[in-house]
A and B are shown apart, each in its own frame.
Chain A
Amino acid sequence: MIFKGKAHKYYDNIDTDVIIPARYLNTSDPNELAKHCLEDLDKEFVNKVQKGDILVAGKNFGCGSSREHAPIAIKACGVSCVVAKSFARIFYRNAINIGLPIVECEEAVDGIEAGDEVEVDLVNGIIKNLTKGKEFKAKPFPEFMQNIMKAGGLIEFVKGELKKDA
């Protein structure tokens, strides 16, 4: 699981209300949600973001609501991975459950600027800033969560478990 793309960088406490404002929660269509991703924070984001790009943010990313629409919107607009100093816990589990890769690494966030080319190796926890030639070590993903991600998200994981029980 290696991702490579251009970094889009934002600050601390990016909440789910700015990731996907409640006024758009009368739909759950990923493509509709993707059109409004981060709209109240940066109107240009959806025009700038390209497939494979990496979202970089400060601490407590995704705080607030339990709306899974937030990681869905981020994934659907093409972001391959989110690197933050820390994640709010419901966002964290929602991202794992839907298969949106996320990594916590304070040093990497401080060492990446908007526009830098970044590579993230999820399994080994290695983040490279290719533009600046720097490498950062994040905590590798726990095996438990790697298994969910490998299965393609929690639904596929649970399907496997239900089969075992049968």
Chain B
Amino acid sequence: MTKPMTMSQKILAYHAGKEYVEPGDLIFANVDLVLGNDVTTPVAIKEFEKIGIDRVFDKDKIAIVPDHFTPNKDIKSAQQCKMVREFAKKYEITNYFEVGEMGIEHALLPEKGLVVPGDLVIGADSHTCTYGALGAFSTGIGSTDMACAMATGKCWFKVPEAIKFILYGKKTGWTSGKDIILHIIGMIGVDGALYKSMEYTGEGLKSLSMDDRFTIANMAIEAGAKNGIFEVDEKTIEYVKQHSTKPYKIFKADEDAEYSQVFEIDISKIRPTVAFPHLPENTKTIDEITEKIYIDQVVIGSCTNGRIEDLRIAAKILKGRKVKKGLRCIIFPTTQNIYKQALKEGLIEIFIDAGCVVSTPTCGPCLGGHMGILADGEKALATTNRNFVGRMGHPNSEVYLSSPAIAAASAVLGYIGSPEELGMKGDDE
């Protein structure tokens, strides 16, 4: 008889070929997928070459997505992408996605069916934790880890303790997955889940779409967590069947598994939430914002909130309205497929008519790379994941974080506000 385990413990034990692993154990485990982008892969390639082997462990289990500075913003970025492209060609990497077929990595991989429940995924990008929405153990690592995993198919892990989040109730009004995760980070802090796993369960999961879950898992890293993971249900299976033919394995936490903390959260009580500069934990609900915070730029997109539901919500609010004069509103569909879907549904036309600019998928503005850099003293409201000092440009600029609904309404108002101020009630009313 082995001791009870959490979902994360079970996935790690399975991939390490062990019956049981304990929090704190240091293990080597086999990975199902290794991910890199155009910023982290060049460093990994240099390290990979030092190992001195002439093959990768499995050309089908590596995904490389140039998405940060692409389409290339300058010569140095072009050189980096060239290095990545040549590496992908030399080692015949199956899942290399060039401009034109790509998307922001964390939306693209699930869409392409490359991640399924029970997988162990590592990625040289901190938001790799996104795939926890699918019931996979996925976590961000660095370039050296990526290099070693490309060579050996293995990575070292410290088995994490877990925090259990039992969600109940139903979302109300304009509240979305983004508000739930901002609420949680505000509650536990940016190091509230440091070195730990955030495991989501409870009947409240039923009211969360897959897009909501991707957003919540995506920001686990913003609470310091190693991974965020959702219990697998019918919605997960439905999504996987639509996107993948890969076999999957469902791991369920034991009833009596041990958690370092347990939180019960009534999601019907969560109101739209905004994170103030310069940390994702500096949250206020929309009702607590009493002063008018005027903004210069709104960004809707990124691996956190550029999926089709996000665009639909933004379009619902922007339809027939105009972006406030003098404010820039930039919209980024997260993958080429999402872009195409938005075109079909007429969302892109709504955005352009409202005075927004619509861009090809790129991480550019989220991290102050390109396509929406802030000047000295400017303020932005973004549906991205981080609002650190200088994140979106000048060190004296400020970034606020919100859901697409709040961002779209604020683009019209010119200051941070809710669709309720535009006389729009949420879906359930």
Q: Which of A124-166 contact B (CB under 8 A)?
A: 142, 144-145, 153-155, 158-159, 161-162
Q: Which residues of B contact A93 (CB under 8 A)?
A: 141-142, 145, 156
- Contact A162/B151 with A21-B368, A60-B191, A97-B144 known, Cβ cut-off 8 Å: yes
- Contact A28/B389 with A13-B279, A97-B142, A144-B26 known, Cβ cut-off 8 Å: no
Q: Which residues of A contact B178 (CB under 8 A)?
A: none
User: Residue B40 contacts which of A23, A26, A68, A153 (CB distance < 8 angstroms)?
Assistant: A68
User: Residue B190 contacts which of A26, A63, A67 (CB distance < 8 angstroms)?
Assistant: A63
CA distance A28 to B40 in the complex (A): 9
Minimal beta-carbon separation of A69 from chain B (angstroms)? 7
Contact of A94 with B by CB under 8 A = yes
Q: Is the Cβ of B390 less than 8 Å from the Cβ of A40?
A: yes
Q: Is the Cβ of B151 less than 8 Å from the Cβ of A59?
A: no
Contact of B213 with A by CB under 8 A = no
User: Residue A26 contacts which of B69, B141, B147, B226 (CB distance < 8 angstroms)?
Assistant: B69
Q: In the complex, identify which listed stretch (A1-9, A82-90, A106-114) lies at the interface while the others stay far away.
A: A82-90
- Contact A25/B191 with A68-B43, A93-B145 known, Cβ cut-off 8 Å: no
CA distance A27 to B128 in the complex (A): 22
User: Residue B43 contacts which of A69, A153, A154 (CB distance < 8 angstroms)?
Assistant: A69
CA distance A66 to B146 in the complex (A): 11
Q: Is the Cβ of B144 less than 8 Å from the Cβ of A65?
A: no
Minimal beta-carbon separation of B96 from chain A (angstroms)? 19
Contact of A41 with B by CB under 8 A = yes
Q: Which residues of A contact B116 (CB under 8 A)?
A: none
Q: Which residues of B contact A27 (CB under 8 A)?
A: 76, 80
Contact of B42 with A by CB under 8 A = yes
Contact of B195 with A by CB under 8 A = yes
Minimal beta-carbon separation of A98 from chain B (angstroms)? 6
User: Residue A153 contacts which of B73, B144, B390 (CB distance < 8 angstroms)?
Assistant: B144
Contact of B1 with A by CB under 8 A = no
Q: Which residues of A contact B42 (CB under 8 A)?
A: 28
Q: Which residues of B contact A94 (CB under 8 A)?
A: 141-145
* Most chain B beta carbons < 10 A, residue from A41, A86, A93: A93
Q: Is the Cβ of B191 less than 8 Å from the Cβ of A13?
A: yes
Q: Is the Cβ of A158 less than 8 Å from the Cβ of B51?
A: yes
Contact of B202 with A by CB under 8 A = no
Contact of B395 with A by CB under 8 A = yes
Q: Is the Cβ of B190 less than 8 Å from the Cβ of A90?
A: no
Q: Is the Cβ of B367 less than 8 Å from the Cβ of A22?
A: yes
Minimal beta-carbon separation of B87 from chain A (angstroms)? 13
Q: Which residues of B contact A72 (CB under 8 A)?
A: 43
Contact of B125 with A by CB under 8 A = yes
Q: Is the Cβ of B142 less than 8 Å from the Cβ of A68?
A: yes
User: Residue B388 contacts which of A15, A68, A90, A142 (CB distance < 8 angstroms)?
Assistant: A15
Contact of A64 with B by CB under 8 A = yes
Q: Is the Cβ of B152 less than 8 Å from the Cβ of A158?
A: yes
Interface string of A37-77 (1 = CB under 8 A from B): 00011000000000000000001100111111100100000
Q: Which residues of A contact B279 (CB under 8 A)?
A: 13
Contact of B236 with A by CB under 8 A = no
Contact of A121 with B by CB under 8 A = no
* Most chain B beta carbons < 10 A, residue from A86, A142, A155: A155
Q: Is the Cβ of B53 less than 8 Å from the Cβ of A40?
A: no
Minimal beta-carbon separation of B355 from chain A (angstroms)? 28
User: Residue B51 contacts which of A17, A60, A142, A162 (CB distance < 8 angstroms)?
Assistant: A162
Q: Which of B110-158 contact A (CB under 8 A)?
A: 123-126, 128, 140-145, 147-148, 151-152, 156
Q: Is the Cβ of B147 less than 8 Å from the Cβ of A90?
A: no
User: Residue A88 contacts which of B73, B148, B224, B390 (CB distance < 8 angstroms)?
Assistant: B224
Q: Is the Cβ of B190 less than 8 Å from the Cβ of A60?
A: yes
Q: Is the Cβ of B46 less than 8 Å from the Cβ of A59?
A: no
Q: Is the Cβ of A97 less than 8 Å from the Cβ of B145?
A: yes
- Contact A67/B191 with A60-B224, A88-B224 known, Cβ cut-off 8 Å: no
Contact of B164 with A by CB under 8 A = no
Please name 15 pairs of A and B residues whose Cβ atoms are closer than 8 Å in the assembled complex, sorted by A. A17-B391, A40-B390, A60-B190, A64-B386, A65-B367, A66-B141, A89-B195, A90-B141, A93-B141, A94-B143, A94-B144, A97-B145, A145-B26, A155-B147, A162-B152
Known contacts A66-B140, A67-B40, A162-B152, then 6 further A-B pairs from the complex at CB < 8 Å, ordered by chain A residue: A15-B389, A21-B368, A66-B125, A68-B43, A159-B51, A162-B51
Give me the interface of B with A, judged by CB distance under 8 Å: 26, 39-40, 42-43, 46-47, 50-53, 68-69, 73-74, 76-77, 80, 123-126, 128, 140-145, 147-148, 151-152, 156, 190-191, 194-195, 221, 224, 226, 279, 367-369, 386, 388-391, 395
